[in-house]
């Protein structure tokens, strides 16, 4: 992060903010970690309310923020704990729909400004879809400002009744490997994964529904006869692991589940391709990391992926394993196209906001909402 200017005004106490997180979505957690570090560097007091495992994984305290354990729950005890944590805050910033709902409950009856960032497009079917719409409407009614990480999410917030919805600048920290993709990928990592002498395809995602893992296994089945045989490595954990492993073994698929990894940058640097068969993220962390690391990406056209990567990836129709498999095999057989995607990826990544720009935008909103205003202009947080 480049040098920053202190935000502390002489003779005035520092701005105090509370960041509220829920279940630890990779994009929102990485964003809050980066945001906390940038705000603290500018003299802002930051408290992050999140479950304990999220702090261990993302290191909010190491970034200079205070961390308070608040369970991912909307029960009265958890809401009361969050209400106590928000007492005395100049502003509360909640990330994700459920965290935003809890923050709105905790701030009910208080004039504290509430900023909400929607990182993902929430999905629900049947009766749950109606409940989801009700939840979104209650959140945008309570929020002073709603930030969406894609244009689609901004439009969704406005459609639900947001008084003020804006496009958010959201940066993912560049990994150390971002500056040089090796054209001869790291043999040590490839050997560890069992990919010596064969293409290595990497995807990183929790093993949850809507992540596209079943589609990826369908695609892997389609290229079992390819020579040399590509190896798919899936980094991540989740409830689908037993079912996925069973299918891999029953069908003899060239796929390995390697669990949660802390060396994603090294895995990507060793890969021939990165795969994104589906995503619950509006701004996929894997897509950003792949383009930063100059790794060609094949992705299903879902959510905000097209807006994020532009023409710097191979995009295929959603839920079409045949098209996905064909795109992978076509790209593996076309070195010139892979080189083109690396160059396009570098150019596309340069258009994304930096961490400094992200912090600057958020801080300007904080200033806008915390400056003294006439009583009649103040916005409450009533549900």
Query: Where residue 379 falls among pLDDT bands split at 50, 70, 90?
Result: very low
Q: Are residues 66 and 123 in the same domain?
A: yes
pLDDT in tens, 65-84: 999 999 888 889 999 999 99
Residue 193 is part of a domain; what is its CATH number?
3.40.50.2000
Residue 4, domain member (yes or no):
no
Residue 3, domain member (yes or no):
no
- By CB atoms closer than 10 A (0-12, 13-18, 19+), residue 112 is buried
pLDDT in tens, 83-102: 999 999 999 999 999 999 99
Are 46 and 14 in contact, with CB atoms under 8 Å apart? no
Q: What is the predicted pLDDT for the residue at 180?
A: 45
d(CA 4, CA 222): 51
* C-alpha 383: how far from chain center: 27
User: What are the residues whose beta carbons fall under 8 Å from the beta carbon of 364, sequence distance 6 or more?
Assistant: none
Instruction: Please determine, for residue 378, whether its predicted confidence score (pLDDT) is greater than 50.
Output: no
Instruction: Please determine, for residue 137, whether its predicted confidence score (pLDDT) is greater than 70.
Output: yes
Q: What is the predicted pLDDT for the residue at 282?
A: 75
Higher pLDDT, 175 or 204: 204
Q: How far is CA 161 from CA 101, 158, 169, in A?
A: 15, 5, 22
d(CA 201, CA 186): 14
For residue 185, give the DSSP letter: -
- SS3 label, residue 251: helix
Q: How far is CA 383 from CA 75, 135, 378, in A?
A: 16, 11, 16
Question: What is the layout of strands, in order, in the sheet containing 45-50?
Answer: 66-69, 45-50, 16-20, 91-95, 114-118, 145-148, 165-167
Handedness of CA 149, 153, 155, 157 (dihedral sign): negative
Give me the number of domains the chain comprises: 2
Q: Are residues 105 and 187 in the same domain?
A: no
Range of the domain at 20: 16-171+353-377
């Amino acid at each position: 992060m480049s040098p920053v200017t202190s935000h502390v005004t002489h003779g005035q106490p520092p701005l105090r903010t509370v960041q509220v997180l829920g279940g630890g979505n990779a994009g929102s957690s990485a964003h809050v970690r980066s945001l906390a570090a940038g705000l603290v560097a500018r003299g802002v007091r930051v408290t992050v309310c999140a479950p304990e495992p999220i702090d261990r994984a993302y290191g909010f305290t190491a970034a200079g923020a205070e961390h308070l354990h608040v369970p991912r729950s909307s029960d009265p005890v958890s809401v009361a704990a969050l209400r106590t944590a928000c007492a005395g805050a100049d502003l509360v910033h909640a990330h994700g729909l459920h965290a935003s709902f809890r923050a709105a409950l905790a701030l009910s009856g208080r004039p504290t400004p509430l900023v909400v960032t929607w990182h993902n497009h929430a999905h629900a079917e049947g009766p749950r879809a109606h409940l989801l719409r009700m939840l979104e409407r209650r959140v945008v009614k309570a929020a002073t400002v709603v930030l969406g990480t894609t244009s689609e999410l901004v439009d969704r917030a406005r459609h639900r009744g947001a008084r003020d919805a804006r496009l958010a600048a959201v940066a993912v920290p560049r990994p150390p490997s971002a500056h040089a993709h090796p054209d001869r990928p790291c043999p040590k990592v490839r050997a560890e994964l069992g990919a010596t002498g064969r293409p290595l395809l990497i995807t990183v995602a929790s093993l949850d529904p809507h992540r596209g893992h079943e589609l990826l296994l369908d695609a892997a089945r389609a290229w079992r006869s390819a020579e040399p045989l590509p190896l798919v490595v899936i980094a991540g954990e989740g409830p689908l692991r037993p079912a996925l492993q069973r299918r891999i073994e029953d069908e003899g698929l060239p796929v390995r589940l390697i669990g949660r990894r802390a060396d994603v940058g090294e895995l990507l640097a060793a890969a021939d391709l990165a795969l994104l068969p589906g995503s619950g993220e509006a701004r996929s962390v894997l897509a950003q990391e792949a383009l930063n690391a100059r790794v060609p990406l094949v992705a299903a056209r879902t959510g905000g992926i097209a807006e994020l990567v532009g023409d710097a990836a191979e995009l295929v129709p959603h839920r079409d394993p045949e098209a996905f498999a064909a795109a992978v095999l076509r790209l593996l057989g076309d070195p010139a196209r892979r080189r083109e995607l690396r160059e396009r990826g570098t150019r596309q990544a340069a258009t994304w906001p930096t961490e400094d720009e992200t912090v600057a935008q958020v801080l300007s909103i904080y200033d806008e909402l915390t400056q003294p205003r006439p009583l009649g202009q103040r916005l409450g947080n009533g549900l």
